[in-house]
A = this chain, B = another copy of it.
Amino acid sequence: MNLKVIAYARNGHTDKFGIPRQSREESPIVTRIVFEPEYAVPEALRGIEGYSHLWLIWGFSECMGEKEASPKEGLSWSPTVRPPRLGGNKRMGVFATRSPFRPNPIGLSSVRLIKVQKDKVQGSQAGTREGRLELIVSGADLMDGTPIYDIKPYLSFSDSHPEAKNGFADDAKDYHLEVVSLPSLSCCSGEYPLFASCDIDKDIEKDILYILSQDPRPGYQDDPQREYKLDYAGYCVTFVVEDTRVIVKNISKI
């Protein structure tokens, strides 16, 4: 089957470092799903506002790398991958993970629908049949520019299994880090506002705090000296991780 791109995701994750590893209800990160001109037809969304959650089916195109590609002899794919949450050195079957390194690099994310946004273009422009059409959603684990192949309503009676057993991913359920900043950053500590004196948009601050709390380090790294850089929504955040604490060392506009 050959998939056509119907939309692209747009958000602050212009770099792959820091993208949440799964979609999460509690994530404050807002993503715009911008329909391609061929699919920017408002009727195609008729009735969607009755749903609180949606499924996005998307492509891992930008995240694909070569480092995991160690196919068995005679195969064009790798049957096992190293999930970051297991430390990155234990191999699991690719179909027992949500890894991007799979035979068909399709991603699946449930998101919360915030609203439908229609900007009707006056007059007819080439390629803008109905003007700009977007879905505004939260909780996605997508990079800016991710191609979207399908959007479906979330049906609780079909899709919700709160008692499902999460296998080896169960530890990931409540895992998070505390986030603090250096006194030299001249910001107060505490949940919000961590970067109070840094003149940063409050929504972006919330997003950055969430991303850091989710531990964006590659799984196999645990070096308290190592400095990491997160690029998000036009800001560069420098931090280290000591045990279960993220210590923000600097934040600056790019």
Please give the residue numbers on chain A whose beta carbons come within 8 Å of chain B beta carbons, in ascending order: 1-4, 6, 22-25, 38-39, 41, 43-53, 55, 57, 59, 61, 72, 74-77, 79-80, 91-98, 102-106, 108-110, 129, 147, 149-169, 172-173
Contact = CB atoms under 8 A, between A and B. Distances in A.
A96 B1 CA distance: 22
Contact of A161 (B1, B25, B49, B164): B25
Contacts of A39: 77, 103
Nearest to A36: B103
B104 A150 contact: yes
For this chain, the copies found in one complex come to 2
11 contacts: A1-B59, A1-B104, A1-B106, A3-B106, A48-B93, A98-B155, A106-B149, A110-B161, A153-B169, A157-B166, A159-B160
A50 B86 CA distance: 14
A43 B93 contact: yes
Contact of A72 (B4, B41, B93, B172): B41
Contacts of A169: 153, 155
